[in-house]
Each structure stands twice: as C-alpha cells, then as structure tokens.
Amino acid sequence: MLRSLSGDRAFQRLRKGQSGGSKHVTIRWRPTKHGEVRVGIVVSRKVGKAVVRNRVRRRLREALREQLREPVAEAATFGSRPSFDLLVIARPSAAAADYHELKRSLTTALGRAALLA
C-alpha cells in the first residue's frame, strides 16, 4: 500500500538516506520499520508550468503504483512487508517524456537502488 510522505521531518530524514537516479528522475530512499511504503513526489518549477508539473506528478504516481505491485527486494522489507520511505524528484527533462519513458526511467532508478526484486 502506498501512503504519502507528509511533514518536514519525513523529508529531512530522507536527506540522510541513500540516493540514485536515471534520465528523468532522482530518487532518495531510507528503510523504515513502519511496515508500509511512504512516497513523496517532488516536481519543481524548473520542470514547467502548473499543468505540466501536475501531469508529470500524475504519471509518476501511476508508474510507482504499477512498480510497487511487483515484489520488492528483501533489503527493502520489514518482516514480510515492504517498508521504506521514497522520494521521487522529477528532473526538467521529465516534462518532455511520455508515460512509458517516465516508467522506464523510474524502473531503472529503483533497480539501481535495489528496491525491486
């Protein structure tokens, strides 16, 4: 189940976590003991105007839902459930990318981070 990251403390803790990236996204993650996956998506004004930023945010959220339906790596679990905080930061190139490119980029970043099985 995906939950949204909320509050400054959650985002501050992720600064001390690990990071990785790919062509269109950068990710930061940190294992937790919550027993759930909490996700924050950041799309800055460098990406484009509000309509473009919201489109990128919706596409990334859906790509994450699809990706996290699949099994996650053992290192990213607490007990038998996936448990980590994840921050997805869109790069300016994400504005020109279609859904499949964003999904491929997100898959690459999560794979490099060893968050996917």
Report yes or no on 117 lying in a domain. Answer: no
- pTM of the full predicted structure? 0.86
Give pLDDT tens digits for 75-98: 565 555 678 899 999 999 999 999
Range of the domain at 101: 2-109
Is the pLDDT at 99 greater than 90, yes or no? yes
Is the pLDDT at 34 greater than 60, yes or no? yes
Handedness of CA 77, 78, 81, 86 (dihedral sign): negative
One-letter identity of residue 36: E
Which among 2-11, 16-25, 46-55 has the top mean pLDDT?
Answer: 46-55
User: In this predicted structure, what is the pLDDT of residue 26?
Assistant: 96
Q: Which of 32, 30, 31, 38 is nearest to 64 (CA)?
A: 38
User: In this predicted structure, what is the pLDDT of residue 98?
Assistant: 96
Report yes or no on 55 lying in a domain. Answer: yes
User: In this predicted structure, what is the pLDDT of residue 27?
Assistant: 95
Please check whether residue 31 is in contact with residue 76, taking contact to mean a CB–CB distance below 8 angstroms: yes
Looking at per-residue pLDDT, the higher value among 14 and 102 belongs to 102
Looking at per-residue pLDDT, the higher value among 17 and 100 belongs to 100
CA–chain centroid gap for 35, Å, is 17
Query: How far is residue 79's CA from residue 26's CA, in Å, rounded to a whole number?
Result: 27
Give how many domains the chain has, as a whole number. Answer: 1
Distances (CA, A) of 25 to 47, 77, 93: 11, 23, 9
CATH code for the domain in which residue 12 is found: 3.30.230.10
Report yes or no on 116 lying in a domain. Answer: no
